[in-house]
Amino acid sequence: MTPKQEQAMPDTLDTTVEILDALVGFETVSGRPTHGIIGYIQDYLAQHDIPSTLSFDEAKERANVFATIGPEIDGGVVLNGHTDVVPVEGQDWSSDPFKLTRKGDRLYGRGSVDMKGFLACVLALVPVFKAAPLTKPIHIAFTFDEETGGLGMPVLLESLSGFAYRPEVVIVGEPTQMKIVTGHKGGYEMRTEIKGQEAHSCDPRQGVSAITAAMKLISKIEEMNAQRAANPVGVLSTARLIPLSMSAR
Ligand SMILES: [Zn+2]
């Protein structure tokens, strides 16, 4: 950043920490209602004259929030993050996970990095975005239940399908150790059922062992993983097929 650019960026650190403190205080473990945190975000945006829209899960307990700053035209950037966090049960926290705690230069709290930290950075910069002479829009898109399968995003996309304009770029504020990551390997779940044929143990040749068949399938998957590891393709180099569970009958 040039000294001139640095001058143009106001010191938003205090505001960011203040917002993060509020966000961490909402116990938004995936699957729980999001009324509190969404109300806070909507109020904050409204204070800056930014209207926002919500899209809900079926029970209307959890919501995505979407807002646009700048001209409502094609192009621009979406700043995307999720409001939910993973559970804390059974974990050895030395401070209250839902109370932002400062120790030296570090801030502790569930979601302080992944990813309420990003949400706080985005929200703290809203006045800067608003004051900027934007020729393309900045969209804010915060979703629910990312940690349990990205359940909020399809709901958000559906709600945006009626919009006349399309964003150009999405920046997802997931922690990547301050390195830019340009892709994601994604995930896909498949279910395979192998049924055997029972037979008396005196002559197993009369039956078919589901375990033996499954073993061959898992071996094949391992072979494919080895091939993939030997021929890496960009972000897919760490992609793996993982047999998650097996039962035989
Ligand atoms: Zn995350």
131 C-alpha to center of ligand 1: Å? Answer: 29
Segment 39-50 shows an average pLDDT of: 98
Output the pLDDT for position 4: 52
Q: Is 84 a catalytic residue?
A: yes
Q: Is 108 exposed, middle or buried (0-12, 13-18, 19+ CB in 10 A)?
A: middle
191 C-alpha to center of ligand 1: Å? Answer: 26
Give the max Cα distance, the chain: 85
DSSP state, residue 106 = E
Q: For the segment 210-226, what is each residue's pLDDT rounded down to a tens digit?
A: 999 999 999 999 998 88
Output the pLDDT for position 163: 87
Segment 171-184 shows an average pLDDT of: 90
Whole-angstrom Cα distance, residue 184 to residue 204? 46
24 C-alpha to center of ligand 1: Å? Answer: 14
More confident residue, 246 or 42: 42
Collapsing DSSP states into helix, strand and coil, what is residue 67?
A: strand
Whole-angstrom Cα distance, residue 41 to residue 44? 5
Q: Is 11 a catalytic residue?
A: no
Angle at 13 between CA 10 and CA 16, to 5 degrees: 110
Segment 102-109 shows an average pLDDT of: 95
Average pLDDT, the chain: 91
Q: Domains, the chain, ranges and CATH?
A: 9-172 (3.40.630.10), 183-249 (no CATH)
Residue 248 has pLDDT above 70, yes or no: no
Which of 21, 84, 145, 147 is catalytic? The answer is: 84
Output the pLDDT for position 190: 85
In terms of average pLDDT, the best of 44-58, 202-216, 229-243 is: 44-58
pTM equals 0.79
Nearest to 87, CA basis, from 8, 147, 39: 147
Residue 11 has pLDDT above 90, yes or no: no
